[in-house]
Structure 1
């Protein structure tokens, strides 16, 4: 196509991995409907096939999650999952506008530190104030109204035309599944196949159902523990019930604790409150390997030993703090989801996180400039495109039932559920091989997925040395 690429290295962040690629920047109008509007540059990477002579005409576009994640920054973690795909296919990464190197909409969250989680009104006001400050910071270089899924779809189409590809294969992860579905609806003739991992239906209120889906994941994990003799003996109290008791106690009386800094080992002092516990439990639930630690950490805290919980909470918070561009996230959810959040509020009653979590998730919309969504935005995708849908059985944010809803509109689709797994399945077990086979054949129903039967539940740790053999 018309783009000129230069060698570059995609850094691996916390994983320490790096991938050699070719990168460029491509300018598009900030307002997709006004060619004369301010220009913004999209950050693009291209990874050629790894096998000599391979040059398939239709590349793979990977669409990152969030909303707010950078495709180029997360790629080194995902590159092994695409090993089979990359043998024959070009892969194209586009930092969605507002993320990574595409006019990043990021704001410091320092003003939220030290808030009392029991004072929900003060926390809400603090988020509104932060959004107002952030909007002022980016006003000279960005109009947040144009950083939506609809604008991102227009960008992807512009990139497709610029590289000269007639068709593309879309692989979307989490929020990226929303982008993939909308691209497939707007430009069906240019989509050869789609892969949706951690599926978000078009009518889903992003963030609105976290309290309920998290509760369901906790129940699944607790049920599996009761089925294992070693786990049931070590944790005779239901971990879910124990979590509720601990949260209730800390809501009344947060505790000061001495703990080890997870990076330096330095002895520090800090506070453990209800938000510390629910936040850690929610982050842990994304992956079975971390979810396996939760019963042990909760049991330690229930006996007054809070140091492991605090250290792990700090470790997880540092690892995720800079992964999402919060301004871009606000642009998406405020335009596409905020006015529908009442639809999901009732489902949060009686849950650990409660309705206030969704309220806080959308608090910034009171001050953040945001656009609108098309009238048909929430309509389900109806398409004959070959589609492979993937879910983790214990996913706390996009459970398998979401993918089943989307599958109803995809007659050439197939849904695979990975037993015992959480959010994000592309790199697990034999999935990289199945992913490669599907991209080549564009026939999900013909895949032999029997190799996934080896995927299993990760049993909880019974001590800090691990789980029972």
Structure 2
């Protein structure tokens, strides 16, 4: 039973220029909501059409869906709260709506969710299944690090080439254009001002909107700020190292965790070394074919799983247990 629990949890952890304002007429169309709507809520969905590249206002148009979660107050305040993005960038805002139906904001204001350009429900959606399959292949093999990196780079190139062949201008998918999308939506819906909420990458988008279109903003909430001057890829390793240190220190300082896992940090690095020498076999279903596949998870794969798990409070609490069980060899 322990093997099943550990494997399921671990597999889950390892598997997120200033635009010129458009001169062409923008359009807004009411549509059926593309995501599930929680019972007991009032939601209105629409789709906005804007230029893909505002330096070419007569060029290609793209469509961005949005949803208005109606306030429980029959007379809401005139300035709604706007969830600008689920972060990433790449997370779907519309899929996040269900988590906010009990938000205190709804007692006074409507809550608007905007699907950022390129995301899941936008048209086009810049999905890259090639990269996802390359990552899955890397979990299924134990190749040299250079070979695994090359596999993912080749997959990213294949995705880029496919999107370019569809006529998509990839240079137009940036924070400045997304900020202009927000401003266009504000004007289309007729709000004099509104309140922006952003966490992680979405905080960067809010900061960009504050800089470019301050007049339409009443207030902002920034959480886990991904500042514009930060290079996320450059900082990823030191950030992970700092997060791990915090995890180990917090466990040591906690009475129950410290007693249960007194050598958590040492055991973690021992597990990394052991799994790199002898990868852990985990049987799963292929995400596309559903055929049985055996993953061979190395210590490096465990580190990637830890990186992803540290984003979520509800998964962090399981990490000491997983590390200790792996250290004790409880995988059968």
TM-score bracket, normalised by the shorter chain, equals 0.7 to 0.9
Once residues 284 and 18 of structure 1 are traced to their aligned partners in structure 2, the CA distance between those partners, rounded to angstroms, is: 32
Q: Report what 2:134 is aligned to.
A: 111
Once residues 259 and 48 of structure 1 are traced to their aligned partners in structure 2, the CA distance between those partners, rounded to angstroms, is: 41
- Find out whether 1:100 has 2:120 as its counterpart: yes
Once residues 179 and 167 of structure 1 are traced to their aligned partners in structure 2, the CA distance between those partners, rounded to angstroms, is: 17
Query: What is the CA deviation profile of residues 209-231 of structure 1, one whole-angstrom value per residue up to 9, with x for unaligned ones?
Result: 22222222222222222233443
User: Number of residues paired by the alignment?
Assistant: 296
**Is contact 1:258-1:269 (8 Å) kept?**
yes
- CA gap of 1:155–1:117, structure 2 versus 1, over 3 A, is farther
Query: Of residues 280, 286, 294 in structure 1, which corresponds to 2:319?
Result: 294
Instruction: Report the 3-state secondary structure (helix = DSSP H, G, I; strand = E; otherwise coil) of the residue aligned with 1:171.
Output: strand
Q: Report what 1:142 is aligned to.
A: 168
- CA gap of 1:257–1:92, structure 2 versus 1, over 3 A, is closer
Q: Report what 1:254 is aligned to.
A: 279
- Find out whether 1:175 has 2:207 as its counterpart: no
- Find out whether 1:209 has 2:268 as its counterpart: no
**Is contact 1:153-1:183 (8 Å) kept?**
yes
**Is contact 1:111-1:126 (8 Å) kept?**
yes
User: Which one scores higher on RCO, CA 8 angstroms, separation ≥ 6?
Assistant: 1
- Find out whether 1:156 has 2:182 as its counterpart: yes
Query: Of residues 281, 295, 302 in structure 1, which corresponds to 2:306?
Result: 281
- Find out whether 1:219 has 2:245 as its counterpart: yes
**Is contact 1:256-1:270 (8 Å) kept?**
yes
- Find out whether 1:52 has 2:78 as its counterpart: no
Gaps of 5+ in 2: 1-25, 287-291
Instruction: Report the 3-state secondary structure (helix = DSSP H, G, I; strand = E; otherwise coil) of the residue aligned with 1:180.
Output: helix
Shift of 1:4: 4.8
Q: Report what 2:97 is aligned to.
A: 75
Shift of 1:268: 7.7
Once residues 224 and 111 of structure 1 are traced to their aligned partners in structure 2, the CA distance between those partners, rounded to angstroms, is: 35
**Is contact 2:198-2:206 (8 Å) kept?**
yes
- CA gap of 1:150–1:250, structure 2 versus 1, over 3 A, is same
CA RMSD of aligned residues (A): 2.8
Shift of 1:258: 6.1
Shift of 1:94: 1.5
Q: Report what 1:40 is aligned to.
A: 62
TM (norm. structure 1) is: 0.58
Shift of 1:101: 1.7
